[in-house]
Amino acid sequence: MKASLKSYITFIVLLTLSISVQSLNAQDSTIRKHAWGVDILLSTNGIGLGTFYRHEYSDNFSGFMEFSISEAADENEVEYIDYYTSQTFTPGKVNRFLVLPLYIGVQQRLFKDDIVDNFRPYITAAAGPTMIYVFPYDMEYFQAIGKGRPKYTLGGYIGGGVYFGSERSTLLGLNIRYYIVPVSGGIRSMTNTIKKQFGGFYITLSFGSAW
């Protein structure tokens, strides 16, 4: 499953890059102060979704707020397939996790005077409260969600990426982030494992509108 997910991530990244070529000839000198959109988060843990609002304070510096929801897994998990039922299962797994961060961050554009406006690299950092939603593994997924409980912590990430096109009205970006989401004391993930870190590397695709 992890191999197929990596193939899917590769496909999405290549698709994003090919779409961006369509707008490489578009130029717009107007500064777009505001942007809103959605994020698709991809990692070996699974797929997540988010939304963001960004405000540009200058040509180079922006602030933003974002919210997302994604899955988290234990690195010791090994998934198997029941050949009689075609269902997947993970021996020893006790809990599932959803990670829901609400972050405030900053974004710094790089090389503005050296690179054309339709290719805008940047670095970014964000932090804020994070809820880890814990629910049992030994139940049907949606039934188990109703049996879950929240655990609160603080988290953040650092990253870098690039926006494509001219931001005439649409926003298209690709970002790589490393999340740090520690939980004091940890949460039991498997029979013999306590999970204390709910972060990791994510590839994030951003789609939105600027005005």
- pTM value is 0.80
pLDDT at residue number 1? 46
185, 24 in Cβ contact below 8 A?
Answer: no
Strand 119-136 and strand 88-89: pairing?
unpaired
**What is the 8-class DSSP label of residue 88?**
E
Q: Confidence band (pLDDT; 50, 70, 90) for 2?
A: very low
pLDDT at site 27? 44
145: part of which helix (H) or strand (E)?
A: helix 141-145
Q: Tell me the pLDDT tens digit for each residue of 5-27.
A: 455 555 555 544 444 444 444 44
Return the pLDDT at 19. Answer: 45
What pLDDT score does 21 carry?
A: 44
Percent of the chain whose pLDDT exceeds 90:
55
Q: Which parts of 44-170 fold into alpha helices (H)?
A: 141-145
Residue range 70-121, pLDDT digits in tens? 999 888 777 778 777 767 778 889 999 999 999 999 999 998 766 666 778 9
Query: Across 84-98, 130-144, 165-179, which has the greatest mean pLDDT?
Result: 130-144
Burial class (CB in 10 A: 0-12, 13-18, 19+), 1: exposed
Site of tokens 């970014």? 124
Q: With pLDDT > 70 as the criterion, what percentage of the chain qualifies?
A: 80
Higher-scoring residue by pLDDT: 80, 40: 40
Cβ-contact 48, 38 below 8 angstroms: no
CA distance 76 to 94: 12
